[in-house]
């Protein structure tokens, strides 16, 4: 048993998330005795039961390690949507006021500083490398860069989760992982009171990438992980250990994993991790040779891939330790930096549907990749311009609380995705509904209680670079301040245009689960 199970878990501020069976009243209005519009779907959560409680930091994000250090990363597609591969980038400017004001809207959240490049990054605690990368590594994280990342997080209300190097520079003559580098990093972090509250060992260890030994096996990973766990318990015992951040075991990626999570867990056993993490991408991008179309993101089969992955990893979690929460510690539109349309309006619809689905399952944390790097980022690093997915994230953060209400969509068309949460910061009993019309042909209609507020998000086509709220283009102040998001009074029957998103806030819902 992990030593933290006896001396830190009982007092840890993390929450255990439990899923309950529940239903929201959802049905077609026609024929129910009112003067409703034919085919309208009635939304009434007054008698709904609680489905799941997610972490207050549910919607979190990644800042890739290579964003912090600088180095080689995915370059944006060209004007013809053709991939340009990788290129050398400078470190992101985490002191930029505009970026900070945009990021502030996502708090509270985890800021994950990790990614494939973290597996080969040397933390230079003594600032001794003079910019030279030591043998066995591919990059250097300087104390100044780590200080800046932590100052960014502390100032804006984020907690950090990170992972460590496992490349040749961390290994002894027999090829086993040695903890000295990781220990010096944790000691540096601990002694400065930085907001690192959770750690992963390696990023996607099942792929054997990032300088891991050739032929890396589950047995060797288990030996390495045991050394890692002991080091964390001895050095910084309040940290949560999160594992094992694998990917591609259900929804295929271009490169299949060589080690499966089931095998890792069989070697390691229960009690070693405090949260069960995996990575989810519905596809690989055009950069990696997969030809996905924008319309594919609206397919019910495509959207359901996240449920397929979740069921797979939940089953493994349940076999070994059903009491620990599920985390998606990295996710985005597609691997390899995203597709050419990952920064466009269509991704806002897909991303919100994923949030609704995994929250309903009780997934505690969902970490979007990235904050501001490459095509799948929430924010365009060139000028720190918010993308449609950023505005989707802000609306979720402001309106959707941490209590998810289950949905029985009887009478609703399949392409009308419906979710409901207790309203974030709302009055007792208030409910926010999220309705996503995936149809490119049909307007959908929902019936709501009088006095509800409507936030209708629309784009001028799936490939629009911008998004509007109730007909007005969403913009930020020059310093990145978002300001008010002003709703309009919802009519009794809300028409949701094709491929559009409606957040409907009902302060008078009197939902028992939200009291």
The Cα–Cα gap between 58 and 325 comes to 12
- Per CATH, domain 4-53+404-514 is 3.30.2020.10: no
Q: What is residue 216's predicted lDDT score, i.e. its pLDDT?
A: 95
Q: Do 59-402 and 4-53+404-514 have the same topology in CATH?
A: no
Tokens matching residue 42: 């009635």
CA 363 to chain centroid: 10
Half-sphere exposure (Cβ direction) of 361: Cα atoms closer than 13 Å = 25
| Residues 263/337/82/475 CA torsion (nearest 10 deg) | 150
pLDDT < 70 regions, the chain:
1-36, 407-410
**Could you tell me if 71 and 330 are in contact, meaning their C-beta atoms sit under 8 angstroms apart?**
no
Give the residue ranges of DSSP H helices in 50-109.
65-69, 97-104
Tokens matching residue 113: 């500083």
Task: Dump the DSSP string for 404-443.
Answer: EE----TTS-TTEEEEEEEETT--TT-EEEEEEE--SS--
Q: Which residues make Cβ contacts (< 8 Å) with residue 335, sequence separation at least 6?
A: 247, 253, 254, 281, 283, 284, 285, 288
For residue 473, what are the β-bridge partners? 468
Q: What is residue 35's predicted lDDT score, i.e. its pLDDT?
A: 52
pTM of structure: 0.94
**Could you tell me if 180 and 169 are in contact, meaning their C-beta atoms sit under 8 angstroms apart?**
no
CB atoms within 10 A of CB 75: 17
φ/ψ of residue 289, rounded to 5:
90, 10
**Could you tell me if 240 and 257 are in contact, meaning their C-beta atoms sit under 8 angstroms apart?**
no
CB atoms within 10 A of CB 397: 16
Residue among 227, 266, 259 at smallest CA distance from 245: 259
**Could you tell me if 458 and 468 are in contact, meaning their C-beta atoms sit under 8 angstroms apart?**
yes
Q: What is residue 127's predicted lDDT score, i.e. its pLDDT?
A: 87
For residue 404, what are the β-bridge partners? 52, 421
Residue recorded with tokens 């919100």: 352
Residue recorded with tokens 């950023």: 390
If phi > 0 it is left, if psi is from -120 to 50 it is alpha, else beta; for residue 505 that is beta
| CATH, range 59-402 | 3.20.20.80
Q: What is residue 26's predicted lDDT score, i.e. its pLDDT?
A: 53
Q: What is residue 85's predicted lDDT score, i.e. its pLDDT?
A: 81
Signed CA dihedral, 216, 217, 220, 224: sign only:
positive
Domain boundaries, the chain: 4-53+404-514, 59-402
Q: Which residues make Cβ contacts (< 8 Å) with residue 106, sequence separation at least 6?
A: 59, 60, 61, 158, 378, 393, 394, 397
The Cα–Cα gap between 449 and 392 comes to 24
């Amino acid at each position: 048993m992990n030593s933290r199970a006896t001396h830190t878990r009982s007092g840890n501020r993390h929450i255990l998330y439990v899923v309950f069976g529940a239903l929201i009243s959802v049905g077609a209005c026609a024929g129910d005795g009112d003067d409703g519009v034919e085919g309208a779907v009635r939304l009434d959560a007054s008698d709904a039961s609680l489905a799941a409680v997610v972490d207050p930091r549910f919607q979190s994000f990644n800042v890739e390690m290579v964003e912090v250090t600088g180095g080689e990363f995915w370059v944006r597609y060209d004007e013809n949507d053709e991939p340009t591969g990788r290129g050398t980038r400078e470190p992101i400017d985490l002191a930029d006021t505009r970026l900070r004001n945009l990021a502030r809207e996502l708090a509270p959240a985890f800021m994950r500083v990790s990614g494939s490049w973290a597996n080969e990054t040397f933390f230079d605690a003594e600032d001794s490398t003079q910019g030279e990368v030591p043998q066995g590594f591919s990059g250097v994280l300087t104390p100044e860069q780590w200080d800046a990342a932590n100052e960014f997080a502390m100032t804006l209300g984020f907690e950090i989760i990170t992972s460590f190097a496992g490349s040749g520079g961390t290994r002894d003559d027999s090829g086993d992982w040695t903890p000295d580098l990781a220990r010096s990093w944790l000691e540096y972090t601990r002694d400065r009171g930085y907001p690192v509250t959770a750690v992963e060992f390696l990023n996607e260890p099942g792929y054997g990438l990032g300088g891991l030994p050739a032929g890396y096996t589950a047995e060797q990973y288990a030996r390495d992980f045991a050394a890692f766990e002991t080091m964390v318990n001895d050095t910084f015992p309040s940290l949560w250990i999160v594992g094992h951040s694998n990917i591609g075991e259900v929804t295929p990626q271009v490169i299949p994993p060589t080690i499966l999570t089931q095998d890792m867990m069989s070697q390691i056993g229960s009690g070693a991790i405090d949260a069960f993490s995996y990575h989810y991408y519905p596809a690989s991008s055009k950069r990696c040779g997969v030809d996905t179309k924008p319309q594919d993101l609206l397919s019910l089969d495509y959207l359901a891939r996240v449920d397929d992955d979740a069921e797979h990893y939940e089953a493994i979690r349940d076999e070994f330790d059903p009491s620990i929460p599920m985390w998606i510690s990295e996710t985005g539109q597609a691997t390899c930096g995203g597709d050419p349309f990952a920064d466009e309006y269509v991704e806002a619809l897909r991303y919100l549907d994923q949030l609704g689905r995994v929250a309903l399952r009780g997934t505690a944390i969902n970490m979007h990749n990235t904050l501001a790097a490459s095509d799948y980022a929430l924010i365009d690093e060139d000028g720190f311009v918010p993308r449609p997915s950023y505005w989707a994230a802000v609306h979720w953060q402001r309106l959707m609380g941490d209590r998810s209400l289950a949905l029985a969509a009887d009478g609703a068309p399949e392409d009308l995705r419906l979710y409901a949460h207790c309203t974030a910061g709302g009055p007792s009993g208030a409910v926010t509904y999220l309705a996503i019309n995936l149809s490119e042909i049909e307007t959908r209609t929902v019936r709501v209680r009088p006095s509800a507020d409507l936030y209708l998000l629309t784009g001028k086509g799936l490939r629009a670079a911008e998004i509007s709220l109730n007909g007005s283009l969403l913009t930020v102040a020059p310093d990145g301040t978002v300001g008010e998001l002003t709703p309009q009074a919802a009519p009794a029957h809300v028409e949701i245009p094709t491929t559009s998103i409606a957040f409907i806030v009902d302060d008078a819902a009197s939902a028992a689960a939200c009291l």
